[in-house]
Amino acid sequence: MAKEKKGVRLEHISKIYKDPKTGKDFYAVKDANIVIEPGSFVTLLGPSGCGKTTTLRMIAGFESPDEGEIYLGDEAINALTPNKRDTAMVFQSYALLPHYNIFDNVAYGLRLRKMPADVIKQKVTDILGLVGLEGMENRMTNQLSGGQQQRVALARALVIEPGVLLFDEPLSNLDAKLRVSMRTEIRRIQQEAGITAVYVTHDQSEAMAISDQVIIMNGGIVEQISTPQEAYYYPNNKFVADFIGEANFLKGKVSAQDTVEVEKTEIKCATGSMDIGAECNVVLRPEGATLSDSGELKGIVKYSCFMGAYQDYHVAVGDALVKIQEYNPKNKKIYNVGDEVFLNFENNTLYAL
């Protein structure tokens, strides 16, 4: 679909705002270095106020960086206005024209470019087929569901064939079930169009489901750029581990290469380049351990609840309360509150920070 797959490069990008309460300057984004490969789907992920939307708006041209340079392909674009950049934005509010039907909404950008009517008709017809709205050209936007409105907004952005497609939390106005189906559709359409996509969300599961890479931000700082799997299994720090999915942290001390002592128990655990004797946090995902009557690390069950697909436990291990999810519990022993249990770990499920 896209005329050319373009990548995005941010070199030492910073954005400084003034705090209206204190009058002091602060970094909304600080020294961000990001490379987005052509044709990839990359998500800016983090809590509110982390700088992800500001970063997206700087790529789009709605904000200007105070430091650094942004490149679209090989072109430096800091000085270009939004309409001069080879990008298109899908907004959180959809921003559809209420007095136009679907066809005219999608055709709007092409008409601004003064394309011939027959070319416009063909392009709009093709793109409506891609987003699943074929045959609905004459329907008014106020007659559409939220999911259909989102598809119109996506078609309007795609039809101008931008080098990069930008998404500003596009699914936040939809209900939970529709969000899941629409994120799958957005990913399908992006792959079929072969376009570079930069997507902003605070929803970890959404980012994990659709991204080639996630850019995790906190307080204006880029904490990690990696695949979703790498961020989940090998987080750079405690913030990333805690933000991506659910994590338990067991305090330990490195006793040997790839071995950590937790509650006087030696546990095999990837320790990287940590020194012997160094204190660390051992990251344990809730699905990364099973309970049994004997094993590696002793604990006491404080909470036990059947959740259908899994049994949900909270287990006291020393001073830590560890969350464990044992999947397919039908044929497993169910432990009750007060039971003494042992945690056993799957290979490569523990990671020391």
Residue 299 has a pLDDT of 95
DSSP one-letter string for 115-182: --HHHHHHHHHHHHHHTT-TT-TT-BGGGS-HHHHHHHHHHHHHTT--SEEEEESTTTTS-HHHHHHH
Q: Which two tokens stand for residue 218?
A: 């906190």
Q: What pLDDT sits at residue 3?
A: 61
Rounded CA separation 260/270 (Å): 9
Model confidence, pTM: 0.87
**228 Cβ contact partners less than 8 Å away, ≥ 6 residues apart:** 207, 208, 211, 213, 214, 244
Q: Which amino acid is at 54?
A: T
Percent of the chain residues topping a pLDDT of 90: 63
Q: 117 CB contacts (<8 Å, ≥6 apart)?
A: none
pLDDT of the residue at 5: 80
94, 143 in Cβ contact below 8 A?
A: no
How would residue 348 be classed by pLDDT, with cut points 50, 70 and 90? Answer: confident
Q: For 303-325, write each residue's pLDDT tens digit.
A: 999 999 999 999 999 999 999 99
| DSSP-assigned states of every residue in 41-84 | EEEEE-STTSSHHHHHHHHHTSS--SEEEEEETTEE-TTS-GGG
Largest interatomic CA distance in the chain: 76
Give CA angle at 337 (332, 339), nearest 5°: 70
pLDDT tens profile 24-76: 999 999 999 999 999 999 999 999 989 999 999 999 999 999 999 999 999 99
- The amino acid that residue 224 corresponds to is Q
User: What is the reported pLDDT for 347?
Assistant: 67
How does DSSP assign 177-225, residue by residue? HHHHHHHHHHHHHHHHHT-EEEEEES-HHHHHHH-SEEEEEETTEEEEE
Question: Torsion angle, CA of 281/286/288/293, rounded to 10 degrees?
Answer: 100
For residue 295, give the 3-state DSSP assignment: coil
24 alpha-carbon distance from chain centroid = 31
3-state secondary structure (DSSP) of residue 126: helix
Neighbouring CB atoms inside 10 A of 86's CB total 18
Round to whole Å and give the CA distance between 321 and 285: 13
Q: What tens digit of pLDDT does each residue of 172-210 get?
A: 877 888 888 888 888 988 898 889 999 999 889 999 999
pLDDT of the residue at 90: 87
pLDDT digits (tens, 9 = 90+) for 85-139: 999 888 877 788 888 999 999 998 888 888 889 999 998 998 898 888 888 889 9
Contact 91, 168 (CB under 8 A): yes
First to last CA, the chain: 43
CB atoms inside a 10 Å sphere around CB 212: 17
pLDDT score of 287 more than 90:
yes
Q: How many CB atoms lie within 10 A of CB 290?
A: 17
**DSSP letter at 15?**
E
- For residue 330, the SS3 value is helix
Q: Which domains does the chain have, with CATH numbers?
A: 8-238 (3.40.50.300), 246-352 (2.40.50.140)
State the pLDDT at residue 1.
Answer: 45
The identity of residue 269, as a single letter, is C
Tell me the two tokens of residue 161: 């064939």
- Model confidence pLDDT, tens digit, residues 14-27: 999 998 888 899 99
The Cα–Cα gap between 48 and 250 comes to 27
Contacts of 55 (CB under 8 A, 6+ apart): 10, 13, 15, 29, 32, 34, 44, 217
